[in-house]
Amino acid sequence: MINRYKNQKISYIWDDQNKFDTWKKVQETYVKTLEEEGVAKPGISEKIASVSVEAEEVYEREKVTNHDLASFVDILQNKVGEGSNWIHYGLTSSDVVDTSNSLLIKESLEVLLKLVDDLLNEIKNRAIEEQNTKIIGRTHGVFAEETFLGNILGNWYLEIKRNLDRISTAKETISYGKLSGPVGNYTVVTPEIEDKTLNKLDLKAEKFASQIVSRDRYAEVVSAISILASSYDRIAGNLRSYQRSEISEIFEPFKDGQKGSSAMPHKKNPIGSERISGLSRIIRGYSVSSLENMVLWNERDISNSSVERIIIPDSFNIICFMTTELTSIIKNMVINYDQINKNLENAKNKSISQKVLSELVNNGIDRDKAYRSIQNLIFENNSAEELMKSIEEEFDVDLSNVANSENIIDNNDSFLDKFN
């Protein structure tokens, strides 16, 4: 992952040195269980804990073995010395790698969940602030009816909250490891030893394992991240639309000294939202890769391995960056109330069309005839007052109820209940 989009905590989690340290943690915990079960002599796990395996050592050894986990085991056994034969006893590479991956993914999900929770708090705060701010709603990008900015933000909140639930579920799905050997049949390691070891790591065991932790678990994690990224993209796309010159209702924050363009001094571009939209495309692509990784030969092949080395760390770095970026935008976005009111006024003849239609239907007038009449008058660009006057004359009805009523009723105390 390029430095521009790195998250510090995620980068640490997926740093090679932390990965090797996690491999060592799995080996140490496993040997500790062997000691407790009387399989291995006491004290070996303590020796494992006391030594370190440096990333550079693994890289150098891998030049010989062409196998990173085997290189790690060679170095660890050499440093532990007497009793080191119990290291990796009865295990295959995927026992260590996949169990470690589950730990790293869980830790990454915990970082993400905290960031998403922070985002939700910001969206909720802004929604409450703007719960009675009227704004013209748009469908197909075209004036529709009045709504509240608080409702729009509330809609975003609930979508992100559903994503939070999906991420939490994915965390449970990935909380599995395996220590059952080359094809998952417990040739050497017993299910009891596996369970006791994984319990210490706060993981559960794959009940019917192949050589690996099943990749549908990984796909669920990346898919959940992809859905979250797409939700961010929807919000970002709408923020970009609100900042268009001809709309100008909501703007991203613009710092002192910031430049919108190298050529045009007047520009304030929605670069944060555009950045979010762009990065979401990468993560959606990664979700396809994670689905492809489910399709492995027999008990496994390693066609998934090279892909996962890229898409897992990158997915977490990117989605955490996007979350932080969107949180800042929501917290600091500038609302142009004057322009919102101007757009409401410009849209008034259109935003009342359904109320006028409904009033005519209430007066017994044929719906299609009323619809066509209203449509023609609006297409001729009549004002709201002209529209209602013409309709009253054509159908001999009184539309004062429409003229004197609010198009929408202010939010009330139940507004807050909708966030639960």
Would you name the residues annotated as active-site residues? 140, 261
Q: What is the DSSP string of 157-216?
A: HHHHHHHHHHHHHHHHHT-EE--S-TTSS-SSS-HHHHHHHHHHTT-EE-SS--SS--HH
Which amino acid is residue 388, in one-letter code? M
Query: Would you state the structure tokens that stand for residue 218, as one six-digit string?
Result: 């990984």
Contact 132, 406 (CB under 8 A): no
Q: How far is CA 283 from CA 7, 9, 232, 311, in A?
A: 15, 19, 11, 8
The residue to which tokens 């669920």 are assigned:
220
Contact 332, 253 (CB under 8 A): yes
> What's the farthest any 2 CA atoms get from each other in the chain?
102
Which amino acid is residue 233, in one-letter code? D
Query: Would you state the structure tokens that stand for residue 75, as one six-digit string?
Result: 């170095």
Using DSSP, state whether 249 is helix, strand or coil.
coil
Closest of 90, 290, 55 to residue 170, by C-alpha: 290
Instruction: Tell me phi and psi for residue 378, to 5 degrees.
Output: -70, -40
Instruction: Tell me phi and psi for residue 205, to 5 degrees.
Output: -95, 140
Q: For CA atoms 364, 367, 373, 378, give the dihedral sign.
A: positive
Closest of 45, 78, 84, 42 to residue 60, by C-alpha: 78
Report which DSSP code applies to 335: E
